[in-house]
Structure 1
Amino acid sequence: METKTITIRVNAEVARIFEAASEEERRKLEALLSLKLGDVTRRKRLLEEVMSDISRNAQARGLTPEILHSILDQE
């Protein structure tokens, strides 16, 4: 699959976590984001709806900001 680099704005904490992640974790996060953005465009759902769904699902499964930070800090 062909890829292309884009620039998106995120809050400073998200940027810091992404920048601190290992190359493997970055690739995983980029793949996840690519899939979700593709989902949004195919389904014509508002990005806010998709983001809310992701957040609710992650929280329902017990993901907290601390756990996410811990996962991203693993090397």
Structure 2
Amino acid sequence: MSTQQKHPLTLQLDAEAVAMFLGISDTDKEKLEILVSSLFKEYKQSNHETLKKTMDEISQNAQERGLTPEILEDILAEEE
């Protein structure tokens, strides 16, 4: 999907999140990588004081574009 060069990054996640990530398809892993990259880019470009505010804004934008929590849950549950 992305033509940008990728670089490894280590994040500390809880065991459940790691298990879920390891259990999903390569396509869904790539989608999550794009989502996380977008989160960092939006955070860098924002003038917000906290990551929470930025995440809330991203969530609101996603919902305005039709991505509901239920749809996201269904996408993540497809691979379980």
Normalised-by-shorter TM-score class:
0.5 to 0.7
TM-score of the superposed pair, with normalisation by structure 1: 0.66
> 67, 72, 75: which one pairs with 1:71?
75
Question: Where does residue 9 of structure 1 map in the other structure?
Answer: 12
Query: Larger % of helix: which?
Result: 1
**Identical-residue share of aligned pairs (%):** 24
TM-score of the superposed pair, with normalisation by structure 2: 0.63
Structure 1 segments of 4+ aligned residues over 3 angstroms from their partners = 51-58
State the 1:24 CA deviation.
Answer: 0.3
State the 1:15 CA deviation.
Answer: 1.5
Equivalent pairs counted in the alignment come to 72
Structure possessing the higher relative contact order (Cα contacts under 8 Å, 6 or more residues apart) = 1
Q: Structure 1: any 5+ residue segments left out of the alignment? A: none
